[in-house]
């Protein structure tokens, strides 16, 4: 992550015990994974350990840990907490481990929800830093995230659920996609793939929508 670490931008690991539904836990597992990566990138090792413990705690209450335990991923992360490069490699391994089980339709749904959480948190942190520090590189990064958002929404729309949070989350993600699709910068990017930063007015729309969606996930 570009820019110095800002502890106000991450979801508190203490809140791991406050998520009581499977859907909420899986979403926040994704949020915490993104926060862990943010800590690692900024050499916040002690904070990274707290997020690692929060992930393990939530993972114990879902089906996540049984996949990670097979490859001893939590222990590898904790042992390599002082080695940024090794930590990032292990985080990639965690993603690959999930992908190995994508023939399981139920797990595929879990991975889709989890990745939505990862994306929301990463995009939210980027939008906040860009808003307050005028980081042009992050405004460009958010433009490049538009095709990823398209894929996430496409996957989300394939699943029907009686879960009220899922319905609202899907609705707001579709709303974010629709809003970004109308932006001049996004249209230019999708046509020419140029590295154009979001305008300040476009960034404000994206930041506000991300903040609202993210707040509903972490509350």
Structural domain count of the chain: 2
Of 53-67, 96-110, 131-145, 188-202, the poorest mean pLDDT is in 96-110
* 146, 75: one domain: no
Q: What are phi and psi of 154, to 5 degrees?
A: -60, -45
**Tokens matching residue 29:** 């597992």
Examine the fold and report which residue of 70, 86, 101 is the final residue of a domain before the chain moves on.
Answer: 101
Most confident among 14-23, 39-48, 75-84, 205-214 (mean pLDDT):
205-214
E strand residue ranges, the chain: none
Tens digits of residue pLDDT in 32-82: 989 998 998 888 988 988 998 899 889 888 877 766 666 566 777 777 777
Domain final residue pick, 101, 135, 167 = 101
The model's pTM: 0.86
- Report residue 194 as tokens: 């140029």
Quick one: pLDDT band at residue 1, thresholds 50, 70, 90? very low
Confidence at residue 104, expressed as pLDDT on a 0 to 100 scale: 55
Residues 90 and 80 sit within 8 Å (Cβ to Cβ): yes
User: Would 55 be classed as within a structural domain?
Assistant: yes
Contact 33, 91 (CB under 8 A): yes
**Residue 65 or residue 13, greater confidence:** 13
Same domain, 63 and 143: no
pLDDT one-digit tens code per residue, 113-172: 888 999 999 999 999 999 888 788 899 999 999 999 999 998 888 877 777 888 899 999
* Residue 168 CA, distance from chain mean position: 17
Give the pair of three-digit tokens for residue 16.
Answer: 């791991």
Buried b (16+ CB within 10 A) or exposed e, 106-117: ebbbbbbbbbbb
Owning domain of residue 203 = 106-219
């Amino acid at each position: 992550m570009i820019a110095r670490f800002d502890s106000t931008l991450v979801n508190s690991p203490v809140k791991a015990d406050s998520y009581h539904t499977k859907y909420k836990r899986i979403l926040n597992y994704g949020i915490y994974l993104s926060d862990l990566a943010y800590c690692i990138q900024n050499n916040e090792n002690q904070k990274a350990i707290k997020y690692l413990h929060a992930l393990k705690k939530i993972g114990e209450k879902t089906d996540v840990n049984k996949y990670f335990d097979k490859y001893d991923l939590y222990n590898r992360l904790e042992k390599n907490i002082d080695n940024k490069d090794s930590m990032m490699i292990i985080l990639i391994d965690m993603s690959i481990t999930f992908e190995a089980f994508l023939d399981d339709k139920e797990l595929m749904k879990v991975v889709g929800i989890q990745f939505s959480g990862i994306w929301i948190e990463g995009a939210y942190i980027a939008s906040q830093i860009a808003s307050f520090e005028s980081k042009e590189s992050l405004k460009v990064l958010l433009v490049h995230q538009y095709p990823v958002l398209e894929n996430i929404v496409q996957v989300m729309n394939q699943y029907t659920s009686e879960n009220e949070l899922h319905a609202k989350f899907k609705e707001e993600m579709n709303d974010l996609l629709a809003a970004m699709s109308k932006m001049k910068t996004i249209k230019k990017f999708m046509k020419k793939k140029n590295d154009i930063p979001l305008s300040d007015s476009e960034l404000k729309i994206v930041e506000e929508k991300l903040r609202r969606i993210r707040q509903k996930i972490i509350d």
